[in-house]
Structure 1
C-alpha cells in the first residue's frame, strides 16, 4: 500500500470561466475526502446553498473571500451577504490562513469580492460527489458565452445542492 504525494502544479485540472479546479486527491486514492485546489476569480459568488449529506472544509491559501456558514434569521433569495444568524453571526471577510467548516444541513456561501484571484484548498466528504459535480459543471460552463441556468439547477438537484441564492460570476460586488 502506498500513499500519495502531489507536488505544486500537479493534479488533474478543470478550467472554466467560473473557476479553476485542480483535483489533488480523489475517490480513486481513498475514502477520506475529495481534495481540490480551487482558484476563485474576482466576482465569483457560489451563492448560498445547503447539502444534506456533504461535509466541506475551505482553507484560504492566498487572497480573500467573504464567507458564510450559518442558518440566517431570514433566507433572502437574492443575496446572502447581508444575512445574520439568531446568535448575531454575520458574513466574514477572510484572508490567507482562514478556514470554514460546513456540516451537513448548514447553509453556506462564499464570494471573491476583490480584484485578484483567491486560491483555496477545498475538502469534500464523502467522495466522489464533488468530483463528479465539478466535472459536469465544467461541461456546462464550456458551452458558449451564457450559462444554462436550468442545466446548472438540474445538476445541483442530482448532487445534493439546495441552492438558496443564485450563483454569479463576473464583476466583484463590494
Structure 2
C-alpha cells in the first residue's frame, strides 16, 4: 500500500472568481475523507447551511475568518452574522491556528470580512460529496452566465447542502459600492 505526500502548493486546483480550492486527499486516491486547501477572498461569505450526514473540520492557516457552528435561537434568512445560540454562543472571528468542527445537522458558515485573503484547510466526510460539489460550483462560477436557482438548489440537495442564508461574494472593490449576492452557488 502506498500513501500520499504532497509538497506545498501541490494538488489539483480549481480556481474561480470566488475561491481557489486545492484538492489534497480525495476518493480517487482511496481516501474516505476529502481534504482541501481553500483560499477565501475578501468579501466571500459561504452563507449559513447545514448537512444532514456530512461532517466537516476547518483549520485557519492564514488570515481571519468569521466562523459559526451552532443552532441559533432564531434562524434568519438574510444573514447569519448576528445569530446567537440559546447558550449565548455567537459568531467568532478566528485567526491563524483556530479550528471548527461541524457534526451533521449543525448550521455553520464562514466569511472573510477582512481586506486580505484567508487560507484554510478543510476536511469533509464522507468522500467524495464535497469534491463533486466543488467541481460543479467551479463550472457554475466559470460559466459567467445567469443560472437557474432551482437547478442550483437541486444540485445542493444532491450533495447534502441545505442553504439557510445566501452565499455572498462582495470583493473589496464592491464593498464600498453594492454587495452582490450570488444565488447561483
2:59 is matched with 59
Q: Deviations over 1:17-69 (max 9, x none)?
A: 11100000001223331000000000100000000010000000000000000
Q: What corresponds to 2:39 in structure 1?
A: 39
Higher helix share: 2
Return the TM-score normalized by structure 1: 0.95
Name the structure 2 match of 1:28. 28
Residue 71 of structure 2 corresponds to residue 71 of structure 1: yes
Q: Deviations over 1:109-147 (max 9, x none)?
A: 000000111000000000000000000110011111656
Question: Which residue of the partner structure matches residue 3 of structure 2?
Answer: 3
Could you say which residue in structure 2 is the equivalent of 1:96?
96
**C-alpha root-mean-square deviation of aligned residues, in Å?**
1.4
User: CA–CA distance in 2 between the matches of 1:47 and 1:2?
Assistant: 38
Gaps of 5+ in 2: 176-185
Q: Which runs of 5+ in 1 are unaligned?
A: none
Relative to the length of structure 2, the TM-score reads 0.89
Q: Secondary structure at the match of 1:119?
A: strand
1:31, 1:126 within 8 Å by CA — same for their partners in 2?
A: no
Q: Partners of 1:147 and 1:97 in 2: how far apart?
A: 36
CA distance in 2, matches of 1:146, 1:41: 22
Query: The residue matched to 1:28 in structure 2 has which SS?
Result: helix
